[in-house]
Chain A
Amino acid sequence: ENVDPQKTAFLLRKAWTLYSVTPLYRFHRARLRDYARLLSAFIAAEKQKGLAVEVGVELDIKVTVSSLADLRGSEQDAAAVLVQLSLRSQASSRNSEDKLVWSGWFCSVYGDDLSKNVPEDFTCLPLFLTHGAESYTSMVGSWFQKTFDCCFRRLAISPLNLSWMAAMWAGCKLDRAACAVELVFSVPRLSHPLDISYAIHPEDAKALWDTIQKTPGEITQEEVDVFMECLYAHFHRHFKIHLSATKLVKVSTAVASAHCDGIVKILQSQYLPGVLMLLTELAISQIQ
């Protein structure tokens, strides 16, 4: 559980698009370099076919596939796998570095519910997070699907799950002065789309949660419901609008932010395992 903050710094403050992935068949950790080479060849071939990312520009993509040993929940979890695509620098000077254009990583944090039921040949890494152009995501995804017989699906986050995140993250203890807890609601059935943004002072939100949560470290659905009800009631008192009739689409806190389309940004390294554990759980329930 002790994740080296330096190794995981690259994960923070980036908007990651979430996918659920079914178990990978015959994925061998010793062959990561081979996989990088095969994926690189696959991408080059796709470009030849005319599926190039940018028209008219010669792109030489370097692929690295590495294992992140620390990024896991328990010993039962497979260690995370990171795939990075970089543009090979054209100039030969020593100062020019390869430019990172796309990253994607597979992980499992306390994904026992899935891994315990799966035969030996399979590696369970149900959560896949990507950052970068969609065209690269689909190329990498296609290669993994062909090579390991797995299936990727965008992971959407329901309003119910977003409200869990709001309660959990608003209640986190943070040393420095934090940013506001912001909830964004989309109002249904209107001719013009309308979004309502509700910002709450982080100390007020934490104080509210602290009065509701009975057992530290444990959260129940009832407690989350009460937390949201209080926020809705407060809003209704002032604006006469029932937020409970709208759709919660985005939650932003100082710990992390999440959007219902399955986009997440993690801001605090100390809460990284907690956030990943929740996302792993969502990925697993989408697979099952």
Chain B
Amino acid sequence: HLATSLPLPSERDHFRPRIDLIVFMIDIKSKYSLKNVEASLAHVDATFFLGKVCFLVTGVGRVNACSIDTSAVCRLGEAYCSPVLFCELELEGVRVATAQRLLRILQICAGRIPEVSALSFVSLMRSSDDD
């Protein structure tokens, strides 16, 4: 399910299946996308931040078109205890690899991987970032 911002329209609440993972996409070429994500975060229930949220920064291949300070995005990830992934959607290989990563994270968040919970996975990712 794709949405340009949060909150989701309430009319469809009872049709909506359970949400296992929220991926916030930030386009490095658009300051607006970062502002939009920051505003949308306020509408997310706190329980999601126990491993069911991740940030995906796109367009990182184009360093010269960068409109966002990437350290600000990393600080956002730290503030919300959620991983930040970087990718370049225009490169097919990276696009496919990123999709596979997100799918894996989704499987964990949906409880499909035995013995790995969303919370344990995100703390695993955080400790490898610190290294």
Contacts and interface: CB of A to CB of B under 8 A. Distances in A.
Interface in A217-242: 221, 225, 228, 232, 242
A221 B64 contact: no
Q: Provide the main secondary structure of the chain B interface.
A: helix
Contact of A158 (B32, B33, B64, B71): B64
A159 interface: yes
Contacts of A232: 31
Contact of A245 (B33, B63, B65, B66): B33
Nearest to A286: B63
A225 B69 CA distance: 9
B1 interface: no
B65 A158 contact: yes
Interface string A33-48: 0000000000000000
Contact of B64 (A188, A244, A260): A260
Nearest to B33: A245
A28 B69 CA distance: 40
Contacts of A248: 67
Contacts of B66: 158-160
Given A221-B69, A221-B72, A244-B35, A158 B63 contact: yes
B50 interface: no
B98 to A, nearest CB: 21
Interface in A180-223: 188, 221
B32 A159 contact: no
Interface string B54-83: 000000000111111101100000000000
Contacts of B33: 245
Contacts of A159: 29, 65-67
B32 A242 contact: yes
Nearest to A162: B67
A247 B29 contact: yes
Nearest to A249: B65
Interface in B13-50: 29-33, 35
B64 A156 contact: yes
Interface in B85-121: none
Interface centre among B63, B67, B71, B72, by most A CB within 10 Å? B67
Nearest to A260: B64
B23 to A, nearest CB: 20
A136 B66 CA distance: 31
Contacts of A157: 64
A244 B65 CA distance: 13
A160 B70 CA distance: 10
A262 to B, nearest CB: 9
Interface of B: 29-33, 35, 63-69, 71-72
**7 residue pairs, one from A and one from B, having the closest CB atoms:** A245-B32, A244-B31, A244-B32, A156-B64, A159-B67, A158-B66, A242-B32
Interface of A: 156-160, 163, 188, 221, 225, 228, 232, 242, 244-245, 247-248, 260
